[in-house]
Structure 1
Amino acid sequence: MIKKLSSLLAATTLLAGCSLIPDYLRPDAPVAPSWPQADSAARAGAPLMGDLAWKAFFKDPGLQALIEQALANNRDLRVAALNIEVARSTYRVSESALFPQINANGGFTSQRIPKGVGGSTADVTNRTYQANLGVTSWELDFFGKLSSQQEQAYENFLATEEARQATRISLIAEVANAALSLYGDRALLALTEETLASREDSLGLIQRSFDNGVSSQVDVAQARTAVETARVNKVKYQRQVELDKNALTLLLGGPFDESRLPSPASLDAVGLVEDMPAGLPSEVLLRRPDVAQAEHSLKAANANIGAARAAFFPSISLTASGGGTSGTLDTLTASPAWIFNPQITVPIFTAGKNQANLDSAKASRDIAVATYEKTIQTAFREVSDALAARATLTQQIKSQGDLVTATGDSYRLSRARYDRGVDSYLNVLDSQRSLYSAQQDLISTQVTRLSNLVTLYKVLGGGVERDAVAKAE
C-alpha cells in the first residue's frame, strides 16, 4: 500500500508545475547614456573606480583598521545580516509547500467498563493500538500558485541580500567620512592652538609697549579681543573633536582607540585613490546594490501576479493515509487500512476577490517598476553630483592655497608696518583674521575633497561583495 501511495505522489508531482508568471523584461534605464561630466578614459578600457576593493581604495592604514572594526561589530550591519537569515527561512518555508508533508502518528487507548454496563457480567478492560502514515491536504501545483509564491520569496531573499550590501557600502563610507571629519577638526584645533599662541605673544608685546608708553590702550584691547576669540574657537574645536570620536564609536560598534588613527602630517597625505574613471551609466548603475535590490523587488512583484492569476483556476489537494488498528501490538499490521481522498475546489463566485487580488498585484508591479526607475535616476544624480564636485574641488583647493599665501603676505606686511609705527594695530588684526579664516577654509575644503572621493567611490558601487549572493543562490 505504501508503494502505491508513493507512486501516486510521484506521478502527481510530475504533473504539477505550470507557471502563470508574466515574462520579465527589465525596464529601460530612464537616464542619459553618459554622465554630464564625460569620462573619456572609461571608454578606453581603463579600470574603473567602482571595481576596486575597499582596501585598495583606502590606502591609509588607520582608515583600514577602523573600517575592519566597523565591519566586524557595527549593529546596523549585523541586523542587515540577520534579515537575510529571516528572508532565507521564509523562502525555504515557501519552497516546502511544493512537496507533500508526510506525517506519522500513533496512539493507544485503554478503557475500563464496569460490570453491569452494557450487559457485562464482569469488569472489562479494552485496549486499542493505532498507527498511521499519511499525507494531509497536499495541494497539487497544477497552475503554479505555489511555485509563484516560491519565486516571490526567493526574489525577496535576494533583495534582502542586496540591502545588506548597500548597508555595508554605506557603513564603509560613513566610517571613512567620520574619520576624515576627525582629521579635519584635529587640524583646525591645531591651527587654532597655533593662532592662539601667536596672538598671546602679540598681546604680551603690546602690553609691554603700552606699559612703556609706546602703544595705546586701544591696541591692548584689540589684541586681547583677538586672543579671546581664538580661545573660544579652541574650545569649539575641542568639543567637535570629542563629538567626532563619539560618532566613530557608534559606527565602530565598540570603543574607539585613538592610537589606531594617528593624525596625518597633512590632509594631503591621506591615501585615497583619485585619478580613476567612473565608467558609463550602463556599466555602473546596475552594479549598485540599491538598484539590484529594487530589481529583485520588481521580480518579486512580477511573480506575485502569477500567484494571483492561479487563484482563478481549480485547486486540487490530496489526502491519503495508511495504517492499522488492533487490540494488540503484535497484530497491528496484520490488517492494514488505508484512505485516499482527492479534493478539487473550483472558484465559481468570489464577489470579485480574485480579480481584486490580481489588480492589486499588477498595481504593485507597476509601483515596483516606478521605484526601480526612480532608484536608477537617483543613482545617476548622485554620481553626476560627485563627478561635478571632483571636477571643481581640486581647482578650489589650489585657489584656496593661493589665498592663504596672499593673506599670509598681507599679514606679515601689516605687522612690519605696525612695528615701524607706520600703521595701526587694527590693520594687523584684520590681516590676521583674514589669514586665519583662509587657513580654516583651506582645511575644510581639503576635507570636502577627500569626502567627495569617498562619496564617489560609494555611489559608483565600490566595494560590493558578490560572492555572498552567489553562495546564497
Structure 2
Amino acid sequence: MTQTTAPRRAPGIGARHPHAPAPAAPARPGEVRGARPFAPLALALAALLALGGCAGLARSGYERPALAVPSRWSGANACTAAGCGRDPAGQGGAAPTATTAATAPPTATIPGLAPDDSGNARLARASEVPALALDGWWRDLGDPALDGLIDRLLVRNNDLAAATQRVRQARLSAGLQADALVPAASASLSGTRGRSLSGQGRTRSNAASASLAWEADLWGRLAASRDAADWEARATDADRAATALSLVGTAASLWLDLGYVNERIALGEANIANARRVLELVQLQYRAGSVSSLEVDEARQTLAALEAAQTSWLLERDQDRHAFSILLDLAPGADANPWAAEPRRLPEAALPAIPAGLPAELLARRPDLAAAEARLRSTLASADATRLGYYPRFSLTGTLGGSSAALADVLANPVATLGAGLTLPFLQQTERQLAVASGRAAYAEAVASFRQSFLSALADVEDALSARAQYEARARPLEESLAAARRAEAAYELRYRAGSVALRTWLDAQRTRRDAEAALAANRLDRLLNRIALHQALGGRAGG
C-alpha cells in the first residue's frame, strides 16, 4: 500500500504559479488514486496465477512398475507332497486351523515419540512418531517367557530406538518442506552511530522493518518437494517396522538356539556320564585280566572327546546369552541370566499351521517392500521437483518499516513497499537438460531396485517353503534312524558284556546313537527356525 501526503503551501501564497502543472481532475466514483503504477504488476500476477491452474498437469502420475507375480507358491506344493506333519494347513488355500482363524491374533506395540510441547501446532504434528503395532506372530511358539522378553525388547532395544529417531528426523524434514509453501515472515532492527573525525558533529540513525515473502507455487515444484519428503518419511517408518521384524526374529531364533544348546549340553552330560561308566567297567576288566590296555585307551579316548566337545556347547550358550543381553540393552556378562527362565530344551508340542497366502499379498505385508515403494515414489517426486525448478518462478515481497534519528520515532512515519520477482531459470538449457536427465535416471534406478526387492522377497518365501518341506520330509527317517541306533547299541552292549564282540564295536554303536540324537535335535531346531524365517519372509503372521 502507499501513503500520500498533501504538500503544504507556503504562507501568503494563494494562487497557482503560471507555469505550474494543472491540478489533477477529481477522482471518479470507484477510482483509487495511485493504483495505476500497480496495474502491470496486478496483470502479471493474474496471468501467472491462471497458469498455476496447470500445475497438476506438470506433475508426473505414479504407476506401480510391472511385476512378475506368480499366482501361487511352488514351495507350498512341495510341502503338501512331503506331508508337513506340523503344518497341516499347507498352503494358503487350505482351511485354516482354529488357532489361525477363530482366535484374533495377539498384538504387540512399538512405542512412539510424544510430540514437541513448545506450543507450535505444526511442530507438534511433525515431531510426533505414532506407536507401531505388530501382529505378535512369535506368540505361536507358546512360550510366555519369550513373549515377555520380546515385549521388553520392543521398548529397550537401541537399534529400534535409533530407527524411531530416524522416523522423527524424516517427519521433521517433511515439515520443513511443507513450510516452504507458507509465506515467510522476517523482521529487522538496526541502529547506527557516527562521528566526524574532526569531532564537530555526530549522527545517529535507527531503522526497523518487517517483511513477508511468498513464492507462488505455480507449477507444483514446492508441492513436489514436500511430497518427496513425505514419502521418504513413510519409507523411514516402514524401515522401523522392518527393523522390528528383524529384531524379533533374531530374538526368537536366539531363544530357540538357547533351548537347543541347553538340550545338547544335557545330552552331552548324559553321554559323558555313560562314557565314565564304560571306562570304569573296562578298567575293572583290565585289572581282572580279561581285556588289554588297548580297550582301556579306547574308552578313555571316547570320554576325552566327549568332554572336549562339551566345551563348544558351553561356549555357544554364553555367546547366545551375550547376544540376547545386547538386544535387551544390557551389558554382556553383567548378568549371566538376565531373564526369568531360560529354555532347557526345544518345544515339542505341535504348533499351529502357517498358511502362506498369495504372492501378491507380499506388497501389503512386508515392510521392506513398503519402504522400497515409498522411496520409489519419493524419487519420482524429487525428479518432478528438479524438472519444475526450471519453470518460471514468481515471488512477492511486502515490507513495512521506518527510520528515524530517535529510536522512539522509528515507526512514526512508516513506509510500505510491495515487490514482485520473476525468475526465468529455463534459459539455462544445458544445466536444465542435465538435471532433468539425472532425475529420470534416478527414478529408473529406483524402479529396478524395487523390482529386485520384490523378486528377492518372492525368493525368501519360496526358499522357506522349500526348506519346510525338506525338513519335514527328513524328520521321519531321522526318528527311525535313532530308534534303530538305540536298539543296536543295546544289543552290542549285551554282546560285549558276554564277550562276543570287541569294545570298539560297542563304542562305535554308542557314537552312532549319539550322532542320530544330534541329527534329530538339529532337525527339530531347523524346523522351528524355519517357522521364524517363513514369518519374516511373509512379513509377520502369515495369512493374517
Both structures adopt the same fold (TM-score exceeding 0.5): yes
Q: CA deviation at 1:126?
A: 3.7
Q: CA deviation at 1:202?
A: 0.6
Higher helix share: 1
1:19-98 alignment, distance < 5 Å: 19=56, 20-36=58-74, 37-38=76-77, 42-43=92-93, 46=96, 47=100, 52-54=135-137, 56-98=139-181
Question: How many residues are matched?
Answer: 452
Deviates more, 1:328-337 or 1:299-308: 328-337
- 1:323 match: secondary structure: strand
Report what 1:425 is aligned to. 503
For the residues of structure 2 that align with 1:97 and 1:263, how far apart are their CA atoms?
A: 55
Q: CA deviation at 1:54?
A: 3.5
Contact 1:55 1:64 in 2 (8 A): yes
- What amino acid is aligned across from residue 258 of structure 1 in structure 2? N
Is 2:487 the counterpart of 1:409? Answer: yes
Q: Evaluate the alpha carbon distance shift between residue 399 and residue 45 of structure 1 in structure 2; reply closer, same or farther with a 3 A threshold.
A: closer
Report what 1:262 is aligned to. 341
Of 150, 170, 195, which residue of structure 1 is paired with 2:246? 170
Q: CA deviation at 1:277?
A: 0.7
1:60-459 alignment, distance < 5 Å: 60-113=143-196, 124-136=201-213, 138-255=214-331, 258=337, 260=339, 262-264=341-343, 266-269=345-348, 273-347=351-425, 349-459=427-537
Deviates more, 1:71-80 or 1:149-158: 71-80
For the residues of structure 2 that align with 1:206 and 1:280, how far apart are their CA atoms?
A: 62
Which of the pair has more CA radius of gyration? Answer: 2
For the residues of structure 1 that align with 2:362 and 2:190, how far apart are their CA atoms?
A: 63
What is the TM-score with the length of structure 2 in the denominator? 0.77
List alignment gaps of at least 5 residues for structure 1: 118-122, 465-473
For the residues of structure 2 that align with 1:90 and 1:140, how far apart are their CA atoms?
A: 21
Contact 2:136 2:541 in 1 (8 A): yes
For the residues of structure 2 that align with 1:13 and 1:152, how far apart are their CA atoms?
A: 25
Report what 1:468 is aligned to. none
For the residues of structure 2 that align with 1:45 and 1:12, how far apart are their CA atoms?
A: 64
- What amino acid is aligned across from residue 355 of structure 1 in structure 2? Q
Q: CA deviation at 1:124?
A: 4.5
Contact 1:22 1:305 in 2 (8 A): no
- 2:160 match: secondary structure: helix
User: What do residues 268-320 of structure 1 show as CA deviations (whole Å, max 9, x unaligned)?
Assistant: 3478x431311111123432001000100110111122112213321222232
What is the TM-score with the length of structure 1 in the denominator? 0.88
Contact 2:392 2:426 in 1 (8 A): no
User: What do residues 4-57 of structure 1 show as CA deviations (whole Å, max 9, x unaligned)?
Assistant: 99xx9x999977572422111112332312111257763367458999424533
- What amino acid is aligned across from residue 339 of structure 2 in structure 1? R
User: What do residues 305-350 of structure 1 show as CA deviations (whole Å, max 9, x unaligned)?
Assistant: 2112213321222232111212334533332112222111213542
Identity of aligned residues (%): 28
Contact 1:285 1:460 in 2 (8 A): no
List alignment gaps of at least 5 residues for structure 2: 3-34, 78-88, 108-133
For the residues of structure 2 that align with 1:89 and 1:463, how far apart are their CA atoms?
A: 32
Q: CA deviation at 1:373?
A: 0.9
Q: CA deviation at 1:263?
A: 4.7
Extract structure 1 runs of 4+ deviating beyond 6 A: 10-15, 48-51
For the residues of structure 2 that align with 1:259 and 1:315, how far apart are their CA atoms?
A: 62
What's the C-alpha RMSD, in Å, of the aligned pairs?
Answer: 2.9
For the residues of structure 1 that align with 2:388 and 2:419, how far apart are their CA atoms?
A: 23
